[in-house]
Structure 1
Amino acid sequence: MEGLGVGSDLDLMLQIFQGLDFLHANRIVHRDLKPQNILVTRSGVLKLADFGLARIYASDMKLTTVVVTLWYRAPEVLLTGKYATAVDTWSCGCIFAELYIRRPLFKGNSEGDQLKKIFDVIGLPDLSEWPESAVLLWNSFRSIRPPPIDHFVPELDNQARDLLEKLLVFNPERRISARTALHHPYFRDDLESIRTTSSLSASENDSFSDGRSDTPVSK
């Protein structure tokens, strides 16, 4: 999988969501998250890259046709062109799955084929959830009951499976946000380790204090 290297899958996803939460908190939508736009240093520090398609988010905006590489494009973009920050978390779900299977989960060759491949995995949503402004009709797709997500992404533990299923949700309003994802049980042990390390570092710094003020002395 191009673009990702050092670090565990859990640690990489944690850093992606931390970066994404910062962007979304500042009303920025990346719009083109994919492995090639995620860089990892030798020490395992992850950096989101290529903000050429990033935009300041405002309600009722529409995406341009040149946005989000097809294999990582959210259903609402494929159907309506409308978007919000949830397009980025859909892309995160695609990347998360790819970390396990080492290939794109939805490798479509057109927008219609991309949607078909998505529905083969998550199932065709109810007609009530189909956008009124969709460019394709709901009955253009087969209504099938897909196998469990493990069929497409093996070796998921229970927490990883739950997070992936919350990311790959058709309705963007029900899709998990980056901030909520950071509190998912999948990351609990890793976040606890970070907190513990931070606390120990602070304690060590305190232990070296010689009682003098930290305020620089003016010359």
Structure 2
Amino acid sequence: MFDGLIAYLDSIKARDPAPRSRWEILLYPGVWALGLHRIAHWLFQAELYFLARVVNHLARTLTAIDIHPGAQIGRNFFIDHGFVVIGETSIIGNDVTIYQNATLGGTNPTNGEGGKRHPTIGDGAIISVGSVVLGPITIGERARVGANAVVTKDVADGQVVVGIPAKPMLVDATEFQRKFVPYGTQCSERFDPQTQQLEILKCELETMRGRLSQLIEERDKAEAAKDRDCA
């Protein structure tokens, strides 16, 4: 148990450059919220719903983070700052990071399967500042939801989505999926969606130019061969 706690604190330190020691991380509201949620979830599974809600209310009062006792959460879950809301039927995988003011919200139960109305978050996903993920959708492994995005459709593994409604970024995320990226998206102009669209158009133009040159070369060769045959 102690080794598990040390591994959990180290996983947070790897994602947050601010703490200078494990003791400091122990004061994080996200750590307290998760610890109290583990208790509330145990009570919820035992069908002690009122007691689970009491623990949930205490956690929300102390941390400004509201995790429904029914939510299922994996290992090394990190909430960076408060004002996060996680709904009852949410399922969160391992090594997931959620930033402040994010919401895993629900929709009409009839829209889901078996009453599931909240998202499923894959391992290693990042939900950034102020984003809203709604409904029984799936956020794939290592996927990233950009700041203030509103997600209502499934997000593929490794994909980065931004905007309202959220749409995939136009450049493949594979190259910068190799390490953790704070807040889920790059801050440089290189990864701005409009800049990416321009870059893709440039690539397409270069491809078309190359194809045109190839066709011209093939035509010239065909004409030269035809001239030799006529001669």
When normalised by structure 1's length, the TM-score is 0.27
Structure with the larger strand share: 2
Q: Provide the TM-score with structure 2 as the length reference.
A: 0.26
Larger relative contact order (CA 8 Å, sep ≥ 6): 1
